Structure 1
């Protein structure tokens, strides 16, 4: 039978904690992180949880099939509010504009026969590397393994991998909520776009 309880203790480093049922404050149920339906997050002390009690072989009780006790309506409301906030953020609408400008610059340089031969191949290589770095960092975050330094991700973006970084942020849902990180990402994208524009303009004028 499913019960409602509060997470009163949590050791994030070891991935376990204890739940106290709302209707029986004297009881404690062991919770392992593998029994927690994460929904992209970790357990937090004080949150209400729905769980199913299960007796272990040693006679003690544990919680299985554990999930946050949040109503469907509340989740939908938060999702709607989040989408509206995201649509109005420059971190959402500015990168596609920058990507369109990059495409226009490359097309213009190709039309004028002034597109450096190595530039498209170089951009392709750094974007593949950037997406792979984001994917690896996302996996490491989920497994609590060694992470890719943010400075390395920003360096890849600065070298021209920002389109893949933006795509990875949307597809993998990684690094898309940290405002400080997003600000550095946009700065890297703008700097790289300006550098490419200057290179193509000077190459066209020189030709």
Structure 2
């Protein structure tokens, strides 16, 4: 039962990660286009989506579109978000591993 629950949680987290990162990537792409032609997405909104799990999509879009690559403090805040998420993921993996071994 525990392994089934762990697999369900893992599958749900994986699906969520794909969706939020695709959304983040699209939001950054839209903001890059709007930088030339129209209404921009706020930096707060971009960072909020990254904080909710879309940091990989954000970084991929920043590099691919050369968008917000030199903008401070945006760049530093995005790096802090990624660091926070890596620490949180490591803690989650260790906790899940401990739960499955019990």
Q: Verify same fold: TM over 0.5.
A: yes
Question: How many Å separate the matches in 2 of 1:152 and 1:198?
Answer: 26
Whether 1:138 aligns to 2:32 is yes
Deviation at residue 153 of structure 1 after TM alignment: 0.9
Question: How many Å separate the matches in 1 of 2:66 and 2:21?
Answer: 17
Structure 2: stretches of 5+ with no match in the other structure: 1-5
Whether 1:151 aligns to 2:44 is yes
Structure-1-length-normalised TM-score: 0.43
Q: 2:69 aligns with which of 161, 176, 179?
A: 176
Which of the pair has the greater relative contact order for Cα pairs under 8 Å at 6+ separation?
Answer: 2
Deviation at residue 179 of structure 1 after TM alignment: 2.9
Does the aligned pair in 2 maintain the 1:138–1:174 contact within 8 Å? yes
Match of 2:58 in 1: 165
Whether 1:188 aligns to 2:48 is no
Task: Kindly report structure 1 stretches of 4+ aligned residues shifted beyond 3 Å.
Answer: none
Deviation at residue 188 of structure 1 after TM alignment: 0.8
Question: How many Å separate the matches in 1 of 2:44 and 2:87?
Answer: 20
Q: Secondary structure at the match of 2:40?
A: coil
Match of 1:47 in 2: none
Superposed CA RMSD: 1.5
Question: How many Å separate the matches in 2 of 1:149 and 1:189?
Answer: 19
Question: How many Å separate the matches in 1 of 2:42 and 2:90?
Answer: 28
Structure-2-length-normalised TM-score: 0.84
More helix by share: 2
More strand by share: 1
Structure number, greater radius of gyration = 1
Does the aligned pair in 2 maintain the 1:160–1:189 contact within 8 Å? no
